[in-house]
Amino acid sequence: MGLGKSLVATTAIALIAASGASAQTLTIATVNNGDMIRMQGLSSEFTAATGINLEWVILEENILRQRVTQDIATSGGQFDIMTIGMYEAPIWAERGWLVSLDGLPEEYDIDDILPAMRAGLSFEGSLYAAPFYGESSMVMYRTDLMEAAGLEMPQEPTWDDIAAAAAAMTDRDNNINGICIRGRAGWGENMAFITTVANSFGARWFDEDWNAQLDSPEWLEAVTFYNDLLQNYGPPGAANNGFNENLTLFQQGRCGMWIDATVAASFVTNPSDSTVADSVGFALAPNKDGLEKRANWLWAWALAIPAGTQQEEAAMQFINWATSKDYLELVAAREGWANVPPGSRTSLYENPEYASVPFADMTLRSINAADPNNPTVEPVPYVGIQFVAIPEWAGIGTSAGQEFSAMVAGQLTPEQALARAQALVTDEMEAAGY
């Protein structure tokens, strides 16, 4: 015998020793995107420095949202850190589901977080989720096609400029669509985009007494404009296109313009994936002639600690590491400045090395142009730019989104789509007791 038994014994001892040495393990729920995966790769540095092990649960955005809500609402305690968006942060904080991040140490420099991000992730003055990366939306356009059309894109275009450029660049024979924008139904899909268009046309979801406003002339003008853009200059089947579909089209050179998340800039300028990497220009999201509000949104993926975790202190340590200035430096040193998670800290944009990244300036300007507390021309009772930060929004936004998607598919006119959306939003809000 001998060998066999002693092998088992030593293995057992080694296992016990190992589990004793690494007593602490944090479970982190997150989404699958480039910046998060990069953080996962670099997190061994955190473990080496603190001895805290990390378990990763990576899920698709909608599954993650459902999974995390279910766990937090039932105090399941499965996660010590969760990735949440700007929509959830204030709602969950209000319900007492999240641990306030006021306890972050001084060297974290909370005042360095971009003001718009901090505003969107706070509740009653306290930060509840630390932005890992943030985004706004902007215009990405093909410099070569604009040149061929004899046009120049202003840095601050109006919707008229966009429509003119889309008309000029559309070349059906060569399969080039003037503009690619979202059409697929969903509160985070087409409704994010349509809501920003509506904001810039002077429309709003609700008046100050929570009455739905989709029957206003501003909404009709905005939705008609959006629909005309897609019908005349958009790609075929646009009613099914979300971020990834448009990204694919743009990278293959099928779009003259694409208005979407600023984070896409690093994808379309990456020569290993994009065939148009060296001919992409950026401009601010458009406004309507005569109105101040621009159609840019604001979003952040942020790290938060669910109330009820047994490991609050360690979780705080991790957030301090992952959203710190040092982390940005770490990514820059390992993978270059273009791969640093954007949109979270002021100091990043003051860094001269980062300024050389082609889309840095426009990303910052887009984020700064967004004000989640004051999203529309007329006053509103809600927070949020491309969404309304109330629990009912996910349902309302998605049902309304289906009407607008049907409109893009040619099944409804803008008037019909708006009338239906108005009716269902009114019903839903009444049922919810507003």
Partner 1 sequence: MARSVTTQRKTLNTALAWGIGLVIFFPILWTILTSFKTEAQAIADPPVWFFFDWTLENYRVVQERSNYNRFLWNSIIIAGGSTILGMIIAIPAAWSMAFVPSNRTKDILLWMLSTKMLPAVGVLYPIYLIFIQLGLLDTRIGLTIILMLINLPIMVWMLYTYFKEIPGEILEAARMDGAGLREEILYVLTPMAIPGIASTVLLNIILAWNEAFWTLNLTAARAAPLTAFIASYSSPEGLFYAKLSAASTMAIAPILILGWFSQKQLVRGLTFGAVK
- Binding site residues, partner 1, CB under 8 A: 27, 29, 31-34, 37, 40-41, 55-63, 67, 70, 74-79, 188, 242-244, 247-248, 251-252, 254, 261, 263-264, 267, 272-273, 275
SS3 content of the chain, % helix, strand, coil (to 5): 50, 15, 35
**Tokens coding 217:** 């002339």
Residue with smaller CB distance to partner 1, 38 or 118: 38
**Tokens coding 378:** 């007329």
Query: What is the nearest approach in angstroms of partner 1 to the Cβ of residue 202?
Result: 29
**Tokens coding 261:** 């998340």
Residue with smaller CB distance to partner 1, 79 or 193: 79
- Between CA 158 and CA 288 the distance in angstroms is 5
The helix/strand/coil state of 110 is helix
Query: What is the nearest approach in angstroms of partner 1 to the Cβ of residue 181?
Result: 16
CA 69 from centre of chain: 18
Backbone angles phi, psi at 38, to 5 degrees: -60, -40
Residue with smaller CB distance to partner 1, 142 or 184: 184
Under DSSP, the state recorded for 379 is -
Query: What is the nearest approach in angstroms of partner 1 to the Cβ of residue 279?
Result: 17
Buried b (16+ CB within 10 A) or exposed e, 349-359: bebeebeebeb
CA 337 from centre of chain: 20
- Between CA 192 and CA 387 the distance in angstroms is 6
The helix/strand/coil state of 226 is helix
Residue with smaller CB distance to partner 1, 149 or 263: 263
Residue with smaller CB distance to partner 1, 46 or 243: 243
Residue with smaller CB distance to partner 1, 181 or 222: 181
Query: What is the nearest approach in angstroms of partner 1 to the Cβ of residue 112?
Result: 25
- Between CA 362 and CA 359 the distance in angstroms is 6
